[in-house]
Structure 1
């Protein structure tokens, strides 16, 4: 007799307060999958969709927060159009990283453009994004990242250069960096590297 997936509590997020209410009305097939299979499926999702999966059930939350691949890409433009929207988005993403705890980040992809304001707008407060994204990268390094794919147009590359700690990451196998002539400071001393793929675009090397 074929196994039938059990009915599970499916959460519905609403009211703007971040509270999830549960109802046993749908079949949660993702929760019945082995971790490795579920993580493979979740690897195709952007981080915003991954956070939505957290609201489905307790099991889905565990799978989302332990997903080894994070894609900070394809974020809707409506979430990045104003300084306020961008600040809320950055806080949203950092809260997700915080709740991941020490879970390994195997692959980390970031595609981020700086905020260009209209001439009539007030002073932009988004310059701090540079420092916050560098913090994300360092977080991935501490979580033994293996693949880094970074495409960013940021602000003051002199004050916040690309972290040299990336090149000292023993787990890193693939590194792709495409930035707006950001300073790339490699370690000045001899060091071993496990990289088998390296792609650099629009960077300035400084040892």
Structure 2
């Protein structure tokens, strides 16, 4: 790009009109003007011409880094009319130039004016990244010693604001950090930022609650969160770079973590380590991933189950169930039990694999006391066949069953019959539909009929 930068008629006219030589650059009157005046003069130029000016004078070599006026026009990217670039080449060179200038901008300079003329030459994501001017946190906020809770929300569901992360150490007493709609361009700086909170293991432990919602890491494939102080972690719709959206990884290693919630568009490759204190876990996936092989899906989901086997409250979304059923059926994937599990929350359809999954989950939860089921289905499948078998938790521990959004179809009624017949210590069954005659084995069970609850309760319940 260097030759193109030097071929600028605007720069030639500018320098020839106001400069003279009396033995080198000391006679360059324009270069000797105060910097604010030079900035004002250059504010009338396109940014590409300001950059080209860096080749005219040694004093101007880095001046373009501090200009608070940015003017980009796709029609001016090519200064040589003899170079006949294709439309695609012009667009790519324009995008490269804008990205290059924004990347090297001096973080201490406040942008006064930003002009962008590109018609429909760039995609929406690139466009919104350009106009999302990095937001810098005030030093007084970073170094505030009394700050214990911080929430940063920089955008909306479609686009994030770019966070210009501080380089100084701060947030010495911060215990709760909530980041929403934040785009992080430098992950290493992000780790340093969190470490000053601090989040990383090598620093004094203070941060207890971390939530990241709709945050973007465009150049990251592995999100590693390791802490001895963190007690609550929520990750919602984290975006990673690259085209292979199902190929990102999450590593969670937090020995004192008590609550872990993740809402993800696809199934990530989890690594869950040292979650000995984990009490509550909520795993919700919008979909599994179209291009992932079944074997890889089972492998990833088995890592989730094994990492969560000590939890006391477990909530799972229905997108997991078909493969969970296959995993629980094969001991090579998951041979342990949820021995500490007291409460299980499921959102189910009336598919044919729903009952086998529920039975297998109950068999793997010998000490379960509360079972909550949300029904989410407008379709009716073949009749369920529920085996009449002894399940330890039903015989000895299960005291409360909640059936929410219960429509009263024959499959759901059959499940109620099964629970009432086999729940020997059942004390409470909460349901929203009329109950027909059932055989009840527990003399102390109380049936309660409630108004329908909205489905979103499933997401808010913990």
When normalised by structure 2's length, the TM-score is: 0.25
When normalised by structure 1's length, the TM-score is: 0.48
Higher relative contact order (CA 8 A, sep 6+): 1
